[in-house]
Amino acid sequence: MSDERHGGEREFDLLDRIDLLIATLPPGDAMRRELLDLRMEISQREGIFVEARQTIEKLEEVIKKVTSPANRIGTFLGNVGKETAHIVVGGADYYCNVDPRIPIAKLKKGTRVLVNEAFVIVGDLGFEPAGPVTKITEVIGTDRLRVGNEHGTQSLVLQRSAQLTKTALKQGDEVRVDSNYRMALEMMSAPGSHEHYLDNVPELPWSKVGGQERAIEAIKDAIELPLLHPHLFEKFHHATPKGFLLYGPPGCGKTLIGKATAYNLTRQLREKAAEKDVREYFMHVKGPEILNMWVGESERMVREIFATAREKRREGFMPFLFIDEAESILGTRRASRYSSILSTLVPMFCSEMDGIDSLNDVVIILASNRADLIDPAILRPGRIDRKIKIDRPNKEGAREIYRIYLTNDLPYDGALAKEADNIGAAIERLIERLVDWQFARRDENKFLEVTLRSGRKEVLYRGDLISGAIIASVVERAKGMAIKRAIANQTARHPERSGSEVEGARDEPLKETPLDVSAGGGEGITEQDLQMSFHAEYAENDIFPPTDITEDWLKLIDYDPEYVVKIAPVRPNAAQRGTNLGGVI
């Protein structure tokens, strides 16, 4: 640049000298004309020289860029001095200098840094936006994490980046790792597949659970008393139970009772105990969803579930671990399709249960309709201390369940609707007649014939296989029939309308013609609707096995499989079936 500056000054002096010479010559002198032409030529060449010089400088810059070595990208691990940093580049560690223009105090642990050929930090690139994701298997102190051991991957120990210094991490959480596998950069939100076992508990007082007084009383004695009166249990040196088994046929309210237990227990703790801010945390685990083809994955999920429950307890929640279809993951370790998984999954579950401090940490509730298939190591006292049978509802239990679903605010038809001044008593009489009809020991209600080893045959009627789920479905079917009939009546009252107008009226039946439940016009729920729905539930085979295989039916009846030889459904004839199902939707 100095040479260029001096050359420009010389050329400037030359032009000035020419101008001085021109000024000394008289206007008509021939030399003056020649000097003017010379000055113009020198000025034009100077412009060419400047353009050429700029072109050469650009070419030199390009050559310098394409021939200079590439800068490396490393991960900043920390500073070891005022001007010395600890970095990792390509898996190798370096102590390197930092460009004075980059304040080392502002470099954050885990960020990417630009390193030149002399391994000097010359740039701060911030945190890496992408990278592999792995799962935490152990939290080591406040600064380190153990990850890996998934699907055969190597186990590694990572440091926390500056972003994770104050983040609460636990076993099972997923973190994003830098490309050098030295730093955990970011906590990842759990994918939806890992949320399948979490369930919000609705308001479910015990009054919403009908027909299970004995089971509810047993649960209150086993779960509520130890938590509500701990001083008495301590005074009597009475060990609190650790786990519970709800067993019985499907559809009788095992899951409903589990949720009601969580709601009512936490409500009573808030009202009577010192834990005013305690909230329930219901973990609804579907047993088959834990089974995984990868070695060790099912066991990892069990550890993660228990770790989540303990973490929620530390956060002030009362966790309830409800495992549905428990026999699928806690079955006897026998030769079966999942024998290799169950041989390690059952011991893992046992060890996790042994680490629980009774009801003070986690309330464990298992549910199964084949308790005989659950491994005895799970059911032994000290792990599952209480076995509570959930029976099918009897006549009184069926009445209670019908009272829950047939409420006073529903539209009813006929003589029942005319008693609007005492609708509750009218509904009670309807339920009484309906239950007596359903539990009647008549040929129409015969459903199963069970042959025992002794040679004796026993007949089970429809009332013997009733359940809360069936009753709920019967009421819903009856509502559907009443709605369909109301739509048909709405159409009949407006025969002058076109098809499109009728369709529009179906969308807003209550705006133009409200249902008159007191007129007996066939637009409310009738006793016949409930009877036809009851027939349809048992005729469609949606809730009962479609075959005569004894193993399938044993899940639904309360017989010891050891004494049953054969189970044969009683098939109604075609004429009777058509009569029962007429008009069913």
Query: Residue 264: which of 220, 229, 221, 233 has the closest Cα?
Result: 220
Question: Which one is predicted more confidently, 395 or 295?
Answer: 395
* 576: confidence class by pLDDT, cuts 50, 70, 90: very low
Confidence grade of residue 197 (pLDDT, cut at 50, 70, 90): low
Any idea which of 202-211, 539-548, 575-584 has the lowest mean pLDDT?
575-584
The yes-or-no verdict on residue 193 having pLDDT over 60 is: no
Edge to edge, the sheet with strand 72-79 lists: 92-97, 84-89, 72-79, 112-115, 121-126
> How many beta carbons lie within 10 A of that of residue 35, not counting itself?
16
Long-range Cβ contact pairs of 53-60 (< 8 A, separation 24 or more): 53/4
HSE at residue 208, side-chain half, CA atoms within 13 A, is 13
The pair of three-digit structure tokens given for residue 227, joined into one six-digit string: 């938590």
Higher-confidence position of 130 and 513: 130
Instruction: Look at residue 438 and give its three-state secondary structure.
Output: helix
Query: Tens digits of per-residue pLDDT, 45-77?
Result: 888 888 888 998 888 888 877 777 788 899 999
Longest pairwise C-alpha distance within the chain: 150
Please report the pLDDT score of residue 497 as a whole number.
Answer: 54
Dump pLDDT digits (tens) for 520-567. Answer: 445 788 888 898 988 888 877 556 776 667 766 776 777 777 778 888
Residue with tokens 């911030």: 126
Kindly tell me the sign of the dihedral angle through the C-alpha atoms of 380, 381, 384, 389.
positive
Q: Residue 158: exposed, middle, or buried by beta-carbon count in 10 A (0-12, 13-18, 19+)?
A: buried
Q: Minimum mean pLDDT among 38-47, 285-294, 397-406, 570-579: which range?
A: 570-579
Provide the sign of the torsion angle of the four alpha carbons 80, 84, 89, 94, taken in this order: negative
Q: Which of 236-240, 260-264, 437-441, 573-577 has the highest mean pLDDT?
A: 437-441
Judge contact between 447 and 462, C-beta under 8 A. Answer: yes
CA 441 from chain centre, in angstroms, equals: 46
pLDDT, greater one: 500 or 381: 381
Residue type, 156: L
pTM over 0.75: no
Tell me the CATH architecture of domain 72-126: Beta Barrel (2.40)
The strand pairing partners of 412, in sequence order, are 525
C-alpha 197/C-alpha 305 separation (Å) is: 9
pLDDT at position 86: 93
Q: How many residues does the chain have?
A: 585
| Mean pLDDT computed over 418-422 | 63
* Average pLDDT over every residue of 469-474: 90
| CB-CB neighbours of 208 under 10 Å | 13
* Dist CA 249 CA 463 (whole Å): 14
3-class secondary-structure state, position 141: coil
* Residue 432: C-alpha distances to residues 397, 427, 439 (Å): 12, 9, 11
Mean pLDDT for the chain overall: 78
| Tokens describing residue 381 | 């006292």
Least confident of 180-184, 249-253, 416-420, 469-473: 416-420
- Find, among 134, 141, 146, 142, the residue nearest to 167 by Cα: 142
| pLDDT value, residue 335 | 42
If pLDDT is split at 50, 70 and 90, which confidence band does 112 have? very high
Reported as type and span, the H/E element at residue 275 is none
Inform me whether the pLDDT recorded for 271 exceeds 90: no
Residue 310 has pLDDT above 90, yes or no: no
pLDDT over 90 at 427, yes or no: no
Torsion-angle region of 119 (φ positive above 0: left; ψ -120 to 50: alpha; else: beta): left
The pLDDT of residue 509 is 42
Position 99 pLDDT exceeds 50: yes
- State how far Cα 420 lies from the chain centre: 46
Give residue 210's pLDDT.
84
Q: In this predicted structure, which of 212-221, 297-306, 528-537, 567-576 has the lowest mean pLDDT?
A: 567-576
Greatest mean pLDDT range, 42-46, 137-141, 370-374: 137-141
Phi–psi pair at 565, nearest 5 degrees = -100, -45
pLDDT value for 85: 92
What CATH number is given for 133-189 in this structure? Answer: 2.40.50.140
Only one residue has tokens 């310098």, namely 64
Q: Can you tell me the mean pLDDT for 410-419? A: 71
Q: What residues contact residue 495 under an 8 Å CB cut-off, 6+ apart?
A: none
> Hey, which of 175-179, 301-305, 333-337, 379-383 has the most confident mean pLDDT?
175-179
The type of residue at 386 is R
Q: β-strand 133-140 against 156-160: which pairing, if any?
A: unpaired
Exposure string over 337-371, b if 16+ CB within 10 A, otherwise e: ebeebbeebbebbbebbeebebbebbbbbbbbbbb
Q: Which two tokens stand for residue 502?
A: 């009728």
| Residue 35: per-residue pLDDT | 82
> CA of 535: how far to CAs of 40, 383, 463, 572, in Å?
115, 43, 12, 11
Q: Where does residue 305 rank: exposed (0-12), middle (13-18), buried (19+ CB within 10 A)?
A: buried
What integer is the mean pLDDT of 419-447? Answer: 83
CB < 8 Å & 24+ apart, contacts of 485-492: 485/522, 485/523, 486/515, 486/523, 489/521, 489/522, 489/523
Helix, strand, coil percentages (3-state) for the chain, rounded to 5, are: 45, 20, 35
Domain ranges of the chain: 2-67, 72-126, 133-189, 198-389, 395-581
Q: Quick one: CATH architecture of 198-389? A: 3-Layer(aba) Sandwich (3.40)
SS3 112: strand
Which two structure tokens, joined as six digits, stand for 100?
A: 């004075």
In the predicted model, what is the mean pLDDT of residues 207-212?
Answer: 85
C-alpha to C-alpha distances, 50 to 3, 4, 11, 17, 57, nearest whole angstrom:
13, 10, 12, 21, 11
Contact 548, 443 (CB under 8 A): no
| Cα–Cα distance measured from residue 102 to residue 425, given in angstroms and rounded to the nearest whole number | 85
- pLDDT score of 94: 92
| Shared fold status for 72-126 and 198-389 | no
pLDDT at 287 over 70: yes
Q: Is the pLDDT of residue 39 over 90?
A: no
**pLDDT surpasses 80 at 487:** yes
Choose from 109-113, 228-232, 322-326 the range with maximum mean pLDDT: 109-113
